[in-house]
Amino acid sequence: MDNTVGAEILETIAASALQLAGVLRGTSADPAADLAAGSAASPAAIGPPATDPADSPSVTGPSARCGDLARRQAELCLTVLSGTVGMEAMFAAVKVHAASGYDEAAQTIAAPITSPQEQTAQDMGIVAEVACALTVSERTGSALLGEPHRLTTALPLTLAALEAGNISWQHARIVVDETVNLDPTGAAALEAHFLDPDAPNPARNPAGEMVPSRFRHKARTWRERHHPDSIEKRHTRSAADRRLEYSPDRDGMAWLSAYLPADQASGIWDRATTAARALQGPTESRTLTQLRADSVAAWLLGGQANLIPSPKAQVLVTVPVFALMGLTDEPAMLDGYGPIPPSMARQLIADSADSFHRVLTDPRDGAPLEIGRDSYRIPKAMRQWLRLRDGKCPFPGCSNQSLDNEADHLLAWRQGGNTGISNLGQPCPKHHRLKHTTPWKPSTASSTDPPGWISPTGRHYASEHPDWEPPIWPNQVVNQLPHKEPGPALPESHLPADPEPGSEPKWLRRLQEAEPAPFPSVPDFFWLTHQPGAGAAPPVPCANTG
């Protein structure tokens, strides 16, 4: 291999990057040529428009040409910003191959290994070399060698997406992290779900279109749903490590953190948020974040507990029907967190049975059904439905949990907008203000999809869509269902016989006698609940009224 080839390529790329930076700064040697090529250097660099002053509009401020150049400049800069993200990903892939290649070569030229101690020493030497070459810590150098090894040996789709610039290095690291404890089949299925559009039931949002924090949430959710080990077993092991930790910090401050079961942690967070909202007002100078901390401190210390509201925070839990019945180990979904063990969800239901009510979902894909309203006021039940549909603020990349968000008409009521689910969003306070104080506008929504957003430049940015999945039908249920009309893909000889009258299991008779759902099959049940002791929530209509 010629060592000069790589250096020459890097020099060429560096020169091109400097030239592009010059265009963006307006210091290009030939800005007129840049403009003719569509690169649109800054108006200041190009100079005043070469037109007769008599032809210019008699208005104050920049001329129409300068305004057009500024718009083209803005478009160019956005295009370059987007392009550099892809280039950074491609260079990350180059680093992956370089790190993996160095690791392989270093181990080849090293002395033969005869003991685990020698292997450890050799690995330390390789890591130290990489750390010194890149001026990073040895811990970072170790990660830089370990992650490329997994990408080049076990995650081909992820590496290919990185090479193509379709995902960032952060996305690739998340895939590595979330597949560490999966077997090769599970790891391949996870990356195919997010990176292969032809995979069975692929993700609705490609990995590269989600900010890394949201992609990690999606990847973790998929991993929890499809992990070969039951979430019940894994939760039991992890719950044994629950703890409260105290860590002093600078300036008279300290950190107090707790590692708790998800339902407890989410309930504490939601309750603190509700209390903080109640304390806000025109004379309150503390921020919402400060009020949360003050409320929790007052509750724990007890000194000012009587001055802090004690609300019953609402918790939204999505429970697959067969998991609720104990027939499967499918994870339930806790709003603001993600997958939880079905036993935890069943306990939440048992503790607050009088405050649960049923919401039907589409049994074909697990998505919630539409609910309509014809009044301006958004009822509490519909706000809960928005929480179910969106899960968080619908602005791209925002992770603000649904409890903090504000239900809002996409098309204003006074402009003819209705109060149906398809005309409602729940942006967080920050993005609610963005909608009403800037040219940013939300696009249309649907019964199952939150609204996207249109920027002042006219670009459309899609919101993150929930990845609803059909329920898992346990074998003992499928084998006992009375098949009246077999489909063409399954010969009638392979179908079980219809059960004798009166011989059906009790649970099946109860389902058959229940009020029919909008579709002729058993849907999931979605349960909306308060913390123990809260008043019952109003029932949610199950019909699709559009």
| pLDDT tens digit sequence for 439-455 | 888 888 876 778 888 88
90-94, 176-180, 274-278, 467-471: least confidently modelled range: 467-471
**pLDDT range class, residue 299, cuts 50, 70, 90:** confident
**Is 300 part of a structural domain of the chain?**
yes
The full DSSP string for 253-266 is -EEEEEE--HHHHH
> 321 and 306 share a domain?
no
Contact 261, 344 (CB under 8 A): yes
Domain of residue 407, CATH code = 1.10.30
Taking Cα atoms as reference points, which of 515, 507, 454 lies closest to residue 480? 507
Q: Is the pLDDT of residue 168 over 50?
A: yes
Over residues 461-480, the pLDDT tens digits come to 888 776 766 667 777 666 66
Taking Cα atoms as reference points, which of 67, 51, 47 lies closest to residue 59? 67
> 359 and 508 share a domain?
yes
> 442 and 405 share a domain?
yes
What the block records as the tokens of 433 is 């203000």
Taking Cα atoms as reference points, which of 415, 425, 454 lies closest to residue 438? 454
- The backbone region for 395, taken as left when phi is positive above 0, alpha when psi lies in -120 to 50, beta otherwise, is beta
Contact 76, 34 (CB under 8 A): no
**Is 189 part of a structural domain of the chain?**
no
| pLDDT on residue 500 | 62
Q: How far apart are CA 125 and CA 521, in angstroms?
A: 62
> 410 and 437 share a domain?
yes
Maximum Cα–Cα distance across the chain? 95
Q: Which carries the bigger pLDDT value, residue 313 or residue 242?
A: 242
Q: Which of 311, 333, 354 is the last residue of a domain?
A: 311
**Is 117 part of a structural domain of the chain?**
no
| pLDDT on residue 174 | 94
> 436 and 386 share a domain?
yes
What the block records as the tokens of 147 is 């992650």
As a whole number, the mean pLDDT across the chain is 73
Segment 52-71 mean pLDDT: 58
Q: Does the CA dihedral 105-109-111-114 come out positive or negative?
A: positive
Over residues 304-358, the pLDDT tens digits come to 544 544 445 455 677 776 776 677 777 877 776 778 888 887 777 676 644 444 4
Taking Cα atoms as reference points, which of 14, 74, 64 lies closest to residue 41? 74
| pLDDT on residue 171 | 94
Segment 498-518 mean pLDDT: 54
> 398 and 433 share a domain?
yes
What the block records as the tokens of 144 is 């830089």
117-126, 145-154, 429-438, 501-510: least confidently modelled range: 501-510
**pLDDT range class, residue 366, cuts 50, 70, 90:** low
> 474 and 355 share a domain?
yes
Segment 232-258 mean pLDDT: 91
> 474 and 338 share a domain?
yes
| pLDDT on residue 190 | 93
CA 399 vs CA 59, 225, 427, 430: distances in Å: 44, 21, 11, 12
**Is 395 part of a structural domain of the chain?**
yes
> 338 and 410 share a domain?
no
Contact 46, 69 (CB under 8 A): yes
Query: How many domains does the structure of the chain reveal?
Result: 3
> 331 and 278 share a domain?
no
Q: Which carries the bigger pLDDT value, residue 311 or residue 25?
A: 25
**Is 283 part of a structural domain of the chain?**
yes
What the block records as the tokens of 309 is 């509201």
Q: Which of 311, 333, 355 is the last residue of a domain?
A: 311
Q: Cβ neighbours of residue 67 under 8 Å, at least 6 residues apart?
A: none
| pLDDT on residue 248 | 86
Q: Which of 416, 432, 461 is the last residue of a domain?
A: 461
Most confident of 1-5, 206-210, 510-514: 206-210
49-63, 92-106, 329-343, 367-381: least confidently modelled range: 49-63
Q: Is the pLDDT of residue 497 over 50?
A: yes
**pLDDT range class, residue 431, cuts 50, 70, 90:** confident
| pLDDT on residue 294 | 92
Q: Is the pLDDT of residue 218 over 50?
A: yes
Most confident of 176-190, 267-281, 312-326, 402-416: 176-190
Q: Is the pLDDT of residue 244 over 90?
A: yes
**Is 502 part of a structural domain of the chain?**
yes
> 395 and 524 share a domain?
no
| pLDDT on residue 245 | 94
Domain that holds residue 256: 238-311
**Is 94 part of a structural domain of the chain?**
no
**Is 18 part of a structural domain of the chain?**
no
> 334 and 475 share a domain?
yes
